[in-house]
Amino acid sequence: MEDIYREIVRIQEEGGQAALATILWVKGSTPRSSGTKMLLRSDGTILGSVGGGCAEAEVWQAAKDVMRTGTAKVFKFDLTGREATPDGLICGGIMEVYLEPIISQPALFLIGAGHIANYTAKLAKSVGFKVTVVDDRPAFANKEKFPEADSVVAQEFELALPELKITRNSYIVIACRGHELDQMVLQWAVMTDARYVGMIGSKKKVKTTFDNLKQKSIPAERLQKVHAPIGLEIYSETPEEIAVSIVAELIKVRRQKNLEQQE
């Protein structure tokens, strides 16, 4: 059992997804007793068992729904006469299983602490993102200006970026105060495992930045995944409106991720 809990912590730290199945009660000839747990990972692998072939295929199908919706549910499985267990016994009972999602909170890294980042932090926090703000200017990157942020890092980018824990459930928004800084941050960001990388800027700026990075041997396929210009096209103009378009795009990518994991 301890291994299951360690694995849950690992999955959450790495930005993964899983479901934990717990047998609540059993009736009749079921292969496992109440209290038994099994961890089902999004890639189809499991840790533990709630009864082998008699039950696990159905539990897995139910677990996919729980991971997709993020909502815990209780399921009842009737195993009467399904198949023989390894020792030759026939499953002939009913079991009730509680399935709860193991979903790590999406982490947003705002690189640059200007006005757009300020409004983006507020909105992103309100829709469930863990927010980290990074800037090399303490006068901008502080808790007074970003009270909603979970973490604020005021440090030179060259020192701060390598220390950030970027996982498959991380989202990076680049909004620095100059093109050179944006390019430097983007060069780092595209080589991480982040689910989303977006950069603020005009189409001309984006093209110039991409051309410069290609000359630095950054693979083209990495750059193709960058959302730039950033945000959904809603004809935004003000910092507040731009923040809305950015967070809307973050939500879209997050929901697409959940659907893809269940295909």
Q: Are residues 140 and 254 in the same domain?
A: yes
Q: Are residues 92 and 160 in the same domain?
A: no
Q: Are residues 146 and 42 in the same domain?
A: no
Q: Are residues 74 and 139 in the same domain?
A: no
What residue numbers bound the domain in which 37 lies? 2-103
- Of the residues 81, 103, 125, the one at which a domain ends: 103
Q: Are residues 97 and 145 in the same domain?
A: no
Longest CA–CA separation in the chain, Å: 71
Both tokens of 181, joined, read 């800084």
* Predicted structure pTM score: 0.77
Burial 47-70 (b: 16+ CB within 10 A, else e): bbebbeebbbebbeebbbebbbee
Long-range own/partner contacts, residues 164-167 (CB < 8 A, 24 or more apart)? 164/109, 164/132, 164/134, 165/13, 166/109, 166/192, 166/193, 166/194, 167/13, 167/14, 167/15, 167/104, 167/107, 167/193, 167/194
Residue-wise pLDDT tens for the chain (263 aa)? Answer: 568 999 999 998 888 889 999 999 888 766 678 899 999 998 889 999 887 666 788 898 899 989 888 889 999 988 775 554 444 445 567 889 999 999 888 999 999 999 999 999 999 999 999 999 999 999 999 999 999 999 999 999 999 999 999 998 999 999 999 899 999 999 999 999 999 999 999 999 999 999 999 999 999 999 999 999 999 999 999 999 999 999 999 999 998 855 555 44
Q: Are residues 19 and 99 in the same domain?
A: yes
